[in-house]
Structures are given as C-alpha cells and as structure tokens.
Amino acid sequence: MSKAKFAWMGGKFVKWEDAKVHILTHALHYGSAVFEGVHSYKTKKGSALFRLNEHIERFFNSANALSMKINFTKKELKDAIYGLVRRNKIGDGYIRPLAYYGYGPVGIFPKGIPTNVALVAIPWEHYYSKDLRIMTSKYIRHSEKSTVFGTKISGNYANSILAMYEARKKGFDEALMLDEKGYVAEGPAENIFIVKNSCLITPNSRSALHGITRNSLLEISKDMGIRAYERKVRLNEVENADEVFFCGTATEVAPVVEVNNKKIRDGKAGEITLRIKNKYMNIVRGNDGKYIKWVTFV
Ligand code: PMP
C-alpha cells in the first residue's frame, strides 16, 4: 500500500500514523462524505496537477449536495494541496480531498454534526497497467432520481463496490454498469468510450458521472480530427464496437479488449484508443502547449 509522511486534517499537517477518526464518525456509518481524486504527474518543471480547478469545483458541488459547510476557501484548499504534495515529495501521485460528517450522535440526519475536511497525497503510478476485460453488472447505476447528478458522494460508491465484487468474483477486471432504462452508463469509477467507424462515442446517460477526463477527451479528440459525440449507447453497441476504452483521473485511458467474454475486434488495444492515450499522457505531463492551461505546476 502507498504511504506518505503526512496527511492534512482540518487545516493541519499531521503525521501519517496520526491521521485517524473516531468510530462514531457519521460518514463511517452512513457514507456521508464527498471526495475527489486528483492526479499528480512528474514533469520537467516539477510536480503538476491535472485540472485541479475542475476537481476543486466538483468537490464543493458535491459537499453542497450533502449540505456540508466546508470551512476553507477553494484557495486555502489548493494551497494545502500544494503544501502536502511538496512535503510528501509527490511526483507521480494521487491526491484525495475528502469532506465528511464527523463525530456525533448515531442517527441518519447529520444536523449539528461538524463537516471535517482532510487531504491525502500518495505516490502512485498507474491504476491499470493491463488491458481490461469487463462484464455487465446486474447492479444498475444510480439515476439522478436517487442521487445528485455530477457529484462524488461516498455512499453512492457502495453500488460501485457491489459491481466490482461481482465482476472480480467472476474473473473480470471491471464492471460495466447500465442505467435504469438499460442504456450503458459507466464503469464503477470510470467513464466509457466506444469507437465505431473512426468516431468516438460516449454515453450521455444521466446515471454516469460526466467526468473531467471524459470532458478532456471530448475536447482533445476534436484537435486530433476525430469526431466525438455523446448519445445514448446500447450494450450491443459496446460489444460490437471497433474499440472500447475506460477513462478517468486514476484510470487515465485504459483499453477494454473484452466485453462479456466477447473480444473487441482482435482482442487488442485499438489504434485510436492508443493515439488518444498518447495525446492525453503528453498533455497531463505538461508537454502540450495548447493544453498547458489544464496543468497546475506545484
Ligand atoms: N465515474 C465515476 C463513478 C467516477 O467515480 C469517476 C472518477 N472520478 C469517473 C467516472 C471519472 O471521472 P473523472 O474523469 O472526473 O475522474
């Protein structure tokens, strides 16, 4: 497991071993927390954070959905992230901002329970270093009728964990989750793209988090002369696609080579997928002038 020297809790840098919470922390019982995942990359100009502003915006939106009061400004939080990345000497790494309802009485309604904010920054390279085999989950993704669209609320991830266990127990790497109408939504913590006739297509399902990586890839692909659009996607379109890949902050761009035991084309990572991955990796490492606006050097 990746460790670091320090974490940050409620405004203070604390030793890794001291980054603890009480057993009566509300979020532990009810999933009443929100989080982000920010990728840090080692670049020629030091460590750089990819699309930090967008992650911080989403973090505050998620907190707002749970009526949490974050007692830090966005700037204070960003400064704390820079401080933690420096102290922990993170190059390629991952930053986890977390806000959670803390110590308080047992009971679902968190009235009067304080919102705590914490940061973890750990070294890390790749989430997946292999191509993925995925299966359709029996669990459907939350719709916007059962949660707040576009947020990362911890409790919602029980649904992802169920899907992951289901897939891993059957020998797959990842799950593919559908929405309540049976259209393709996303992976447990990734978005999905398919390539058909040299076009990129990603589900517009409101049961998917419309992620920051997804958004970046839609923009980048235009530059690469690849047509890309969002629309409803049926499961058989994924199974019969020319190429399939998952994407996300942690996952980056991960080729999917098998869906429900059916090989995608020849069962190898697709050419367009690899071109997009290559372009994306160049951008996140600060090597593409046009997209340097997405990169924050620490
Ligand atoms: N969907 C879900 C459910 C996720 O948790 C994530 C990871 N944040 C994504 C998609 C990908 O989003 P992003 O590109 O913003 O990391």
Segment 40-78, tens digit of pLDDT = 999 999 999 999 999 999 999 999 999 999 999 999 999
Closest atom of ligand 1 to 209 CA is 1
For the domain spanning 6-123, the CATH number is: 3.30.470.10
**Contact (Cβ atoms closer than 8 angstroms) between residue 224 and residue 161:** no
Superfamily of domain 132-284: D-amino Acid Aminotransferase, subunit A, domain 2 (3.20.10.10)
Model confidence over 157-210: pLDDT tens digits? 999 999 999 999 999 999 999 999 999 999 999 999 999 999 999 999 999 999
> What's the CA-to-centroid distance between 103 and ligand 1, angstroms?
28
Looking at ligand 1, which residue's alpha carbon is closest to its atom 11? 248
Supply the residues annotated as catalytic. 152
Domain coordinates of the chain in residue numbers? 6-123, 132-284
Closest atom of ligand 1 to 249 CA is 16
211: Cβ below 6 Å to ligand 1?
yes
> What's the CA-to-centroid distance between 112 and ligand 1, angstroms?
30
249: Cβ below 6 Å to ligand 1?
yes
